[in-house]
Structure 1
């Protein structure tokens, strides 16, 4: 299993959880549907080995995903993000 994606969840109480995961969908349409479902959900659900982790979105301060850059990013998210999304930004550290 190629683990080429990274997810960092930061909770309101300051705790953090991070995960590596493989590509979740093979086609652009499947990725679009997965992102739409992800954005609508009340929980972030993550399957780790024989466990299912459920994190309520109401307890999450921020979510960071990486490994989605380059030309594949636009194909991955397509029109799934809100129209008001700021695209092409660079973060100052």
Structure 2
């Protein structure tokens, strides 16, 4: 055997084999980490473009304040969208 999939069997259970539920949880965690990384990257890119006119060795006070405010607003907007999306998903699931 090539060793691929040897820890993932349909039976799950003993012998260090991963069951479907544990595998799904692991995938969910990996997706959450990837989403957080993407959020941070997008926020950094957008706020940098908005606030940093002339990149240099350090940020002046205005740039620091702009970055802080931009990131706060971005996170607030992202949280609002996430809550609304989750709420809609729950309502749709309740209808089924």
Specify which structure has the higher proportion of strand.
Answer: 1
TM-score (norm 1): 0.23
Higher relative contact order (Cα pairs below 8 Å, separated by 6+ residues)? 1
TM-score (norm 2): 0.23
Larger-Rg structure: 2
Specify which structure has the higher proportion of helix.
Answer: 2
